[in-house]
Chain A
Amino acid sequence: MRALIARDLALAVRAGGGFGLGLAFFLIVVTLIPFGVGPETTLLTEIAPGILWIGALLACLLSLDRVFALDWEDGSLDLLATAPLPMEGIVTIKALAHWLTTGLPLVLAAPALGLLLSLPAPGYLWLFLSLLIGTPALSVIGTFGAALTVGLKRGGLLLSLLVLPLYVPTLIFGAEVARRGADGLAVETPLLMLAGLSFGTLALLPFASAAVLRVNLR
C-alpha cells in the first residue's frame, strides 16, 4: 500500500505526471473571472465563494482520467489486480494520491485566490476549511467515475458527464459553507452535511469502485 502511494506520487512529479496541472487550471479560471464579469468589487465579493468552489471542482475533474487510464494502458492495472493487495485498497490509494496531487494544492491555493476576488475577511478560514473537508469527496467520487470508464478510449468526456452530476451535493454544501462564512452567518449545518458527504463517500464508494474495476478488467 505504502509502495503504491509512493510510486503514484513519484510518477505525478516526474515528466508527464501532470502534477500542478489542476492547480494551474484553477489559477487561470479564477483569474479570468474578473475579466469576464468586470472589476466591480461588490459583485466579485458576492460570487467569490461560488466561483472558487466551481473552479476547484473543475480543476479536480481535469486530472481524473489519469487515475486508472495510465495504469490500464501499460498493463500495471492487471498486475496490481493479481498482486496481494485488496482491490478496495488499490482504489482508496488511487483516490488518496489524486487528492494529494490535485485536491490539496487547490485547498492551499484557494485563500490566495480569494484575495483576487476580494473575498471578505471572515470568509478565508471557511473557504479553506470547506475545501479541505470537501475535496476528498471530489477525489473519491472521481475515482469511481474513472473506474467506470477505464478501458474506454477517449473516455474523458464521458467521465466528466458521469461525475459532474455526482459532484452537485458536495458543491452545494461546500459553496454554502464558504458563502455563509464570508457573510458571517452560522456555518454549522452545511459544514456537517459536507463532512457527512465526505465520510460517507470515503466509506462506501471504494467498494463500488473496486467492483466496477473488476468487471472492467475482464
Chain B
Amino acid sequence: MLTVSDLSVARGGLPVLSGVSFALQAGEALILRGPNGSGKTTLLRSIAGLQPPLSGTIEGTDRIAYAGHQDGIKTALSVEENLGFWASVFGTGKIEAALEGFDLLGLKSRLAGNLSAGQKRRLGLARLLVTGRPVWVLDEPTVSLDAASVALFAGAVKTHLAGGGAALMATHIDLGLPEARSLDVTPFKARPEELGADEAFL
C-alpha cells in the first residue's frame, strides 16, 4: 500500500534522516519511535507529500490521509459542517459513521470553537474516516486525548486495519495495538558530514 525506499529528508535545509526504507501492507500498522527532534514529523510530512524528499522514492502517496499536529478545524463552523466539508472534498459525503466512531454525535451541531482540546482532536481524527483513504499517516494522534478517547482511537485504528487499511504513525504512548510493528528512526539519523558538501558548494 505504501512503499518507502531509501528516503532522505531535510528540515530547514539540513538533512535529518537518510536511508529510510519500509513497506506497509494492507492491515498493517507501523509506529515510528524516536526522541523529540529525531525527524519523525519531517519524515511523515515528506511521505504525505507536503515537502519533497532529498532522495529516495515513495509509492502510494495518493492513498494517504494525513493528520498533523493541527486539526484544521474551523472554529466558526459546527462539528457537522467541518466534517461535511472534508467529506465533500474527498468525495465520500458520509459523515454519520465518523461522528459515531469518535463519539461526536451529541456534539454535531455545536460550534467547533466551543469544543475542548480533546474534543477538537477527536473531530480532527474523525476526518480520517470521512476521507475514505486506506493509508493513515498520523503525527502524534493522541495529543490531548484522555484515556477513554485514546481507547476510542485505538478501536478506530483496529477497525481500519481489519477493513484492509494501513496506518503509519508517530507516537510516544502505547496504543495497545499488539499487531503493530515499530520502527525506531534513530539509526537513520543523517550524518553531519553529508551536508558539508552542499553547504561548501553554496
Which A residues fall within an 8 A CB radius of B? 2-4, 7, 10-11, 14-17, 71, 74-85, 217-218
Contacts and interface: CB of A to CB of B under 8 A. Distances in A.
Contact of B66 (A3, A15, A82): A82
Given A3-B85, A3-B88, A3-B89, A14 B77 contact: yes
B118 to A, nearest CB: 17
A154 B65 CA distance: 31
Contact of B70 (A10, A14, A74): A74
B76 A11 contact: yes
A17 B74 CA distance: 11
A74 B71 contact: yes
26 contacts: A3-B88, A4-B89, A11-B74, A11-B76, A11-B77, A14-B76, A15-B76, A74-B70, A74-B71, A75-B69, A76-B72, A76-B73, A79-B66, A79-B68, A79-B127, A81-B50, A82-B48, A82-B66, A83-B89, A83-B90, A84-B90, A84-B91, A85-B89, A217-B51, A218-B50, A218-B51
A78 to B, nearest CB: 6
B64 interface: yes
A17 to B, nearest CB: 7
A16 B76 contact: yes
Contacts of B127: 79
B81 to A, nearest CB: 7
A217 B50 contact: yes
Interface of B: 48-52, 62, 64-77, 81, 85-86, 88-91, 127, 131
> Which of A17, A71, A82 has the most CB atoms of chain B within a 10 A radius of its CB?
A82
Given A80-B72, A82-B66, A218-B51, 19 more contacts: A3-B85, A7-B81, A7-B85, A10-B77, A11-B74, A17-B76, A71-B72, A74-B70, A74-B72, A74-B73, A76-B72, A78-B66, A78-B72, A79-B68, A82-B48, A82-B64, A83-B131, A217-B51, A218-B52
Contacts of B72: 71, 74-80
Contacts of A74: 70-75
Nearest to B52: A218
Contacts of A10: 77, 81
Nearest to A218: B51
A80 to B, nearest CB: 8
Contacts of B67: 79
B127 to A, nearest CB: 8
A147 B81 CA distance: 26
A80 B67 CA distance: 11
A77 to B, nearest CB: 8
Given A10-B81, A83-B90, A218-B50, A78 B76 contact: no
By Cβ-Cβ distance, the 8 closest A-B pairs, closest first, are A75-B70, A76-B72, A3-B88, A14-B76, A218-B51, A79-B72, A75-B72, A82-B66
> Which of A10, A71, A218 has the most CB atoms of chain B within a 10 A radius of its CB?
A218
> Which of B66, B69, B89 has the most CB atoms of chain A within a 10 A radius of its CB?
B89
A48 B117 CA distance: 52
A89 to B, nearest CB: 11
Contacts of B64: 82
